Amino acid sequence: MNCESVQSLAEEVWSASFEQAALINAQLIAEFQAAISQPDSRKSHFFNGRYENLYIQEQHLPSLKPLRKWLMLQAGKITGQAEDQLKYGFWFNRMAAGHSTTRHDHLDDDEQLSAVYYLKVPQDSGNLLLYTDKTPLSITPETGLCVLFKPHIEHEVGINNSTEERLSIAFNFGYKT
């Protein structure tokens, strides 16, 4: 598959680096911190003492627009669909020191592709483990990295062994009906 800026890591797993990360990540983190306490924000998936999914209305996140546009382009290349034929949903994942994310997949609705984009990644804050076959694919996250994968692939995040918070955004892409 020729996806220009997307690199294949394994069957049904790709990665790409967002060139504008240095320009938008700090602002997007600030918008997240301001919006997380808004009454229209919500939390779900309470496991091991924390909510794994933090949902913020896009209206509170103007800096998300260039990232979303770039991700829609990448998702279109991978799925073979025109960008205007795709829909998306997103949520934040905030991991404090000692936290991890439980093993799961994204086969809840009509997802065709899933992704995680890293906003803030302290050293030793937990690898992404993708179970593509018998041996998990371990990916060390980096700020500005995006990992895209088919939603049936089970995945988890190791323990954040740093003393700092790690912040990422997860996306699911499906086809418009």
Amino acid present at 134: K
Tokens for 70, please give them: 């770039």
Q: 156-170: per-residue pLDDT in tens?
A: 999 999 999 999 999
**Architecture (CATH level 2) of domain 7-175:** Sandwich (2.60)
Q: 129-147: per-residue pLDDT in tens?
A: 999 877 789 999 999 999 9
Q: Enumerate the domain spans of the chain.
A: 7-175
pTM of the model: 0.89
